[in-house]
Chain A
Amino acid sequence: MTAVDSAESASGFKLPFRLEIEPRLKEPPGWYSPLLSLIAVVLALLVGALVIWLGGGNPWKAYAHIAKYSFGSVGVLSDTMVKAIPLMLVGLACSLAFRMKLWNIGAEGQFYLGAFGASLVVLLPVLPEEAPKWQFVVLMMLSGILFGALWGFIPGFLKAKFNVNEIISTLMMNYIAVEWNNYFIYAVWSEGGFQMSRMFQRNAWLPRLSDFADKTPAFRGLTTHMGLVIALVAAAVLWVIVFKSQWGYEIRLIGDNPRAAQYAGVSISKNVVLVMLISGALAGLAGMSEISGVVHRLQGAISPGYGYTGIIIAWLAKLNPLAVIVASILFGALILAGREIQPAGIPTLIQGVIMVCLIASDFFLRNRVSITRRTEE
């Protein structure tokens, strides 16, 4: 309100109506925040539609196509879930860090390191080739978590100890992670001159629904893997941690007011390191589940930017771990079926518009805007 008025008095120019922006005095109702998220998605779809229309396409057909090829049958639904799994885990990774206003945009790199860690178990090899499946799964998960956590720990430690800006350090470490993987697939584990490792033996694969097709014929051809269970459990555990545990309380307190946290005796630097560690571990787990559940070998381009999409998912879910599940499925569909219309363009554009709308919508959560006609003074 004041900003608009002072601008007017300086210029002497008056609009025919008054735009009043004032901080909300009451809590917005509970449905308001999810509604804004929904509006952001709808707006983004509308912008996407406009672009498709301008390009001479039929937006209605395009969206119907996306819906059909992502939710239309059990088969494609299963494929959507496969895409959603890594998104859930990186979304959780981002939501935890963002909750403390720690801008970890390094989930991409932590994902790559997690994939590397998981591959190590098979390719080094840590376990003999014919070791039982459960040993592979457990060890690959642990190794993925460990390497992801390590990649999160470095920027966390630098932030806590030397106040190094985590946005820059996590972003830069993404590039290191990708090149680190490249080194191994080009040189160390390259198979037959191709830039990829050998295919993992089957007992290093996460169990898939189709593995149980003998007993349940309905599962035939479904690629959804155990990563879904891991992601769902992780979401539930994280929800309990954030909202029900003492540590979660500390995170929420620091995120909202670090000075109050200090005043209450909560150590900020310790939590910076811990949160980055766990955030990295979750993203690492995403890398492991993708390698062991889908790709089954270490290669380049294992992520079409999952780590970055995780940022948008975290915001779309308003940092709530359970809402991350829903947001991830939506984005999984967008990535999967989006390819049906265009490999890159529109789906990425929609993601971007969602992000912009979400950031803008925070303003409406905090302020109320009212337009009143100006009566002549």
Chain B
Amino acid sequence: MDQAHKTNETANVVSMRAIVKRFPGVLANDQVDFELCQGEVHALLGENGAGKSTLMNILAGLYRPDGGTVVVHNKPVSFSSPRDAIEAGIGMIHQHFMLVPSQSVTENILLGLDEPRFRMHLAQYNRRIEGIAEQYGLHVDPAAKIWQLTVGEQQRVEILKMLYRGADILIMDEPTAVLAPSEIEGLFKTLRSMTAQGKSIVFISHKLHEVMDISDRVTVLQKGRVTSSGIPTKDVTSADLARLMVGRDVVFRVERKQAEVGDVVLSVEDVRADNDKGLPALRGVTLNVRAGEIVGLAGVAGNGQSELAETLAGLREASGGRVILRGKDIINQPVKLGIRDGISLVPEDRTHVGTAPNLSVTDNVIMKSYDQAPIGQGWMIDSTEAAKHASELKEAYDIMVPTIETSVRLLSGGNLQKVILAREISSEPTLMIAVQPTRGLDVGAIEGVQRLLLEQRESGAAVLLISKELEELLSLSDRIYVIYEGEIMGEVLDGNIEKIGQMMMGTRLEQVELQGDV
């Protein structure tokens, strides 16, 4: 209560009004208002792509707004670089740390400053930095080299860097994404000690429970617009926030025929795997997909979806569990065998994983069939056969490209996705895993992709659709699983968006249903 009270009394340190920011084809911020009071942790909540980072990058001087005003400490400002923002006392800590691994903590903090001028006087600065670290409970050895530090410690260095530069407004962009649970607790302690000493903090996140834990107030963004501005965290429940964050407007629905559901094709049992940082990303995922159905996997991005797709395709090593494909355990088998077994993956990253940008359309569509007849003949590739295959696909999938010899880097996003889908579907997969297949496409292309997925379902393939677009999942899927922090929270058959929303925030189905009964 007293915190809500306090916010009314204390002055706004930042006030952003009617901020508009456009990127090519996207309205990232649409008339966004945002206020930050002194001494508070203000959470900025929203799904990926909701415009949180854009808004804060404007405040930190990285982007210029196309419209709106920014007032800091009661003075209107117009930052043209992060340096200007830091001079105004605003420091942003990005998700990706900007540190020099081979240099010490102190050297990193001093980097780019006018002082010291020539001689480093490291001992003296070490002491000064130790002093600041002490004050806020940011324990880190100033003489240690960055590469020796844990991710959590590196984050503290980034915070110290901003404090040393005199920042009293700190923007933390998804600071917990890289941390282990024990480190998150330490970070929260630091944040509290900083606000206690008069610093103000913007905490960007899409994780609801963290927002509930740490923030005093919360502003929710959805698709570039504010759905809730500066409400005291104590006055809301996580279910409210989930609704504000996810929204519920259905854009369009694709015609979906009744299909015959067949046998279980894929059965995933208690699969575990680590992410690229070596932290557990899948903590025992269990689900199944049958022939002739599309099974959706919902979840806020970064909860293990990509890792699951990679593990199923053999691209990521699982540390435990079983993946049964038509009765055969295929866990950790080489990618190539997976392809032979009929596993097809439509990867999330079209340019960096799904295609080879400088190779031709032909070379890209034979990526998985180049060593199989009729295209592969002995040691050789039958160029005529490959060209024929590519022309057929170009025709069938209406790929807009001058010739099949054109490099795919020159293709638009929609056409590139058609190349990938053409390749994957033409392999007649028994299991298709599609990760964010419509991301970044325009409406027409989205419909085309969705129709292709439905055709797969009707032709009897098992489709696992991983998407963060709830609308898409609801309109395409026969069933929806919800994943949260590497675990399946539950399965929804009736497309109940309330249930899905709550499970996406980490509530298990049993608990959701329990709450529903009360």
| A113 to B: closest C-beta gap in Å | 28
| A14 to B: closest C-beta gap in Å | 15
A215 at interface, CB cutoff 8 A: no
The residue that A265 contacts in the complex, of B335, B358, B402, with Cβ under 8 A, is B335
**Distance A336 CA – B368 CA, assembled complex (angstroms):** 48
Contact indicator A263/B353 (Cβ below 8 Å)? yes
Chain B, 202-245, CB within 8 A of any chain A CB: none
The segment out of B260-268, B275-283, B374-382, B448-456 that lies at the interface is: B374-382
A25 at interface, CB cutoff 8 A: yes
Indicate whether A10 sits within 8 Å of B381 (C-beta atoms), given known contacts A263-B345, A264-B335. no
Chain A, 249-270, CB within 8 A of any chain B CB: 249, 252-253, 256-257, 259-266
> Which A residues lie within 8 Å of B347 (CB)?
263
Chain B, 476-497, CB within 8 A of any chain A CB: none
A58 at interface, CB cutoff 8 A: no
Contact indicator B352/A25 (Cβ below 8 Å)? no
A27 at interface, CB cutoff 8 A: yes
Residues 39-66 of A, flagged 1 when their CB comes within 8 A of B and 0 if not, give: 0000000000000000000000000000
> Which A residues lie within 8 Å of B359 (CB)?
252-253, 256
The residue that A245 contacts in the complex, of B358, B379, B406, with Cβ under 8 A, is B379
Contact indicator A247/B356 (Cβ below 8 Å)? no
Contact indicator B381/A265 (Cβ below 8 Å)? no
B128 at interface, CB cutoff 8 A: no
A9 at interface, CB cutoff 8 A: yes
> Which B residues lie within 8 Å of A9 (CB)?
80
Contact indicator B368/A264 (Cβ below 8 Å)? yes
**Distance A257 CA – B367 CA, assembled complex (angstroms):** 12
Residues 71-83 of B, flagged 1 when their CB comes within 8 A of A and 0 if not, give: 0000000001100
Contact indicator B410/A246 (Cβ below 8 Å)? no
**Distance A347 CA – B359 CA, assembled complex (angstroms):** 36
Residues 228-259 of A, flagged 1 when their CB comes within 8 A of B and 0 if not, give: 00000000000000001111010011001101
A26 at interface, CB cutoff 8 A: yes
> Which A residues lie within 8 Å of B363 (CB)?
249, 252-253
Question: How many A residues have CB within 8 A of the partner chain?
Answer: 23
Contact indicator A259/B371 (Cβ below 8 Å)? no
Q: Which residue of B lies closest to A26 (CB)?
A: B410
B57 at interface, CB cutoff 8 A: no
Contact indicator B338/A263 (Cβ below 8 Å)? no
**Distance A266 CA – B370 CA, assembled complex (angstroms):** 11
B354 at interface, CB cutoff 8 A: yes
> Which B residues lie within 8 Å of A25 (CB)?
410
Indicate whether A246 sits within 8 Å of B368 (C-beta atoms), given known contacts A26-B410, A252-B363, A263-B353. no
| A235 to B: closest C-beta gap in Å | 18
**Distance A247 CA – B376 CA, assembled complex (angstroms):** 11
**Distance A252 CA – B359 CA, assembled complex (angstroms):** 8
**Distance A99 CA – B154 CA, assembled complex (angstroms):** 38
> Which B residues lie within 8 Å of A253 (CB)?
356, 359, 363, 367
The residue that B335 contacts in the complex, of A10, A257, A263, with Cβ under 8 A, is A263
**Distance A266 CA – B402 CA, assembled complex (angstroms):** 29
> Which B residues lie within 8 Å of A256 (CB)?
356-359
> Which B residues lie within 8 Å of A249 (CB)?
363, 366, 370, 381
B108 at interface, CB cutoff 8 A: no
B315 at interface, CB cutoff 8 A: yes
**Distance A244 CA – B402 CA, assembled complex (angstroms):** 23
> Which A residues lie within 8 Å of B314 (CB)?
265
**Distance A42 CA – B462 CA, assembled complex (angstroms):** 60
B6 at interface, CB cutoff 8 A: no
**Distance A210 CA – B407 CA, assembled complex (angstroms):** 48
**Distance A24 CA – B410 CA, assembled complex (angstroms):** 8
Contact indicator A259/B81 (Cβ below 8 Å)? no
> Which A residues lie within 8 Å of B402 (CB)?
27
Indicate whether A265 sits within 8 Å of B353 (C-beta atoms), given known contacts A25-B410, A247-B379. no
Chain B, 70-121, CB within 8 A of any chain A CB: 80-81
Q: Which residue of B lies closest to A256 (CB)?
A: B356
Contact indicator B339/A27 (Cβ below 8 Å)? no
**Distance A302 CA – B186 CA, assembled complex (angstroms):** 65
**Distance A108 CA – B339 CA, assembled complex (angstroms):** 41
Contact indicator A263/B354 (Cβ below 8 Å)? yes
Contact indicator B80/A10 (Cβ below 8 Å)? yes
| A108 to B: closest C-beta gap in Å | 29
The residue that B355 contacts in the complex, of A10, A26, A260, A266, with Cβ under 8 A, is A260
Chain B, 367-403, CB within 8 A of any chain A CB: 367-368, 370-371, 376, 379-381, 383, 402
B336 at interface, CB cutoff 8 A: yes
Indicate whether A262 sits within 8 Å of B357 (C-beta atoms), given known contacts A244-B380, A246-B371, A246-B379. no
Q: Which residue of A lies closest to B412 (CB)?
A: A25
B166 at interface, CB cutoff 8 A: no
**Distance A24 CA – B383 CA, assembled complex (angstroms):** 27
| B473 to A: closest C-beta gap in Å | 24
**Distance A24 CA – B347 CA, assembled complex (angstroms):** 26
B334 at interface, CB cutoff 8 A: yes
Contact indicator A262/B315 (Cβ below 8 Å)? yes
> Which A residues lie within 8 Å of B358 (CB)?
256
Contact indicator B354/A260 (Cβ below 8 Å)? yes
Q: Which residue of B lies closest to A248 (CB)?
A: B381
| A33 to B: closest C-beta gap in Å | 12
> Which B residues lie within 8 Å of A259 (CB)?
352-353
> Which A residues lie within 8 Å of B339 (CB)?
264-265
Contact indicator A257/B355 (Cβ below 8 Å)? yes
Residues 1-45 of A, flagged 1 when their CB comes within 8 A of B and 0 if not, give: 000000001100000000000001111000000000000000000
The residue that B336 contacts in the complex, of A10, A245, A246, A265, with Cβ under 8 A, is A265
Contact indicator B383/A257 (Cβ below 8 Å)? no
Q: Which residue of B lies closest to A252 (CB)?
A: B359
Q: Which residue of B lies closest to A254 (CB)?
A: B356
Q: Which residue of A lies closest to B386 (CB)?
A: A249
Chain A, 99-130, CB within 8 A of any chain B CB: none
The 8 closest A-B pairs by CB, nearest first: A265-B336, A265-B335, A256-B356, A257-B356, A264-B367, A260-B356, A256-B358, A259-B353
Q: Could you jot down 12 A-B contacts, CB within 8 Å?
A: A9-B80, A27-B402, A246-B370, A246-B371, A246-B380, A249-B366, A249-B381, A253-B356, A256-B359, A257-B357, A260-B352, A263-B347
Given A252-B356, A264-B368, 4 more A-B residue pairs with CB atoms under 8 Å apart are A24-B410, A245-B379, A246-B376, A265-B368
